[in-house]
Amino acid sequence: MPRKLGQHFLKNESAIKKIIATLELKNGETVLEIGAGHGELTKPLLEVCGKVGCKVMAVEKDPELAAGIQNLENSENLKVITGDIRKILPKLVSHYSLCLYGTSPEGRQTTHYKLVGNIPFYITGRLLRNISELKNKPELCVLTLQKEVAERICVAPPKMNRLAAVVQFWAEPKIIGFISKKDFSPPPEVDSAIIRLGVRLEVLGFRGEKQKLSEENYYRMVRILFQQPRKTVANNLTSGLKTDRLEIAKKLEKLSIFPNLRPQNLSVEEIIKISKEIKIYN
């Protein structure tokens, strides 16, 4: 296995069972697995799907590993895709929409799917950004991430950060459990965490162009607000937007947001208010 892919294969069966239980898989659903590896998670996923009537779409970058899981037991419920998830996720969701979204127990096509994976540390930020940009987001994500990253995602004011502000805009994060580095082969340098990202109901489903522009404004606002976290909200907005500080202060006060707050004190709801009040134009 090429070390450059940075994969650490999870071997703790209890942790794998906890990940699958957190998915709460139901009849007619499809779960998209990222980084299938040797099938450590894929195989037990297929066992559950064989019982409840769901399907697995497994993505693996390494062609040899992808070929190795093609004939797992219950493979009639499995579709294997060879590719880099960072590059193919949007097209994957769009191209395989009919089989990815599945059907409800009543036979109706559903528009929601679930995403799971033991994520290599070096692709975490890019992957979360890719998910945030999907037109049709998964209903639920259950990911194994670096412990420190998972903890950063789950913070609240007064410990907000750029990553948390981005992820919490589209998902409600919760750490389900921690996994020792000894439970991976080869072991990484740090421990991991299982994080549940329940996608907010208001962002599920297909969205119009107006909402897309609203989200883009929010993400741009986050970049400006957290560009220099030690500066005040008013100062970051003034320098980031190249505008008058007094005007910015008035708009913040109108929103009942104190101009001299640090970005770490802002909630997602307050950042949303700011992004709606102050438009950013490129």
Q: 230, exposed or middle or buried, with CB in 10 Å at 0-12, 13-18, 19+?
A: exposed
Q: Which domains does the chain have, with CATH numbers?
A: 3-203 (3.40.50.150), 209-277 (1.10.8.100)
The whole model's pTM is what? 0.88
User: Residues 175-183: what's their mean pLDDT?
Assistant: 97
User: Residues 44-55: what's their mean pLDDT?
Assistant: 94
Least confident of 120-129, 143-152, 252-261: 120-129
Interior angle at CA 93, CA 179 and CA 131, nearest 5? 45
User: What is the pairing mode between strands 78-82 and 114-118?
Assistant: unpaired
The DSSP secondary structure of 122-189, one letter per residue, reads GGHHHHHHHHHH-SS--SEEEEEEEHHHHHHHT--TTS--HHHHHHHHHEEEEEEEEE-GGGEES--S
User: Residues 30-50: what's their mean pLDDT?
Assistant: 95
Q: Could you give the CA distance from residue 63 to residue 86 in angstroms, rounded to a whole number?
A: 16
Centroid of chain to Cα 182? 25
**Cβ(275)–Cβ(241) below 8 Å:** no
Residue 96 above 80 pLDDT? no
Residue 205 is predicted with a pLDDT of 44
| Reported confidence tier of residue 214, pLDDT bands at 50, 70, 90 | confident
Residue 206 above 60 pLDDT? no
Residue 254 above 90 pLDDT? yes
Residue 81 is predicted with a pLDDT of 94
Residue 235 is predicted with a pLDDT of 96
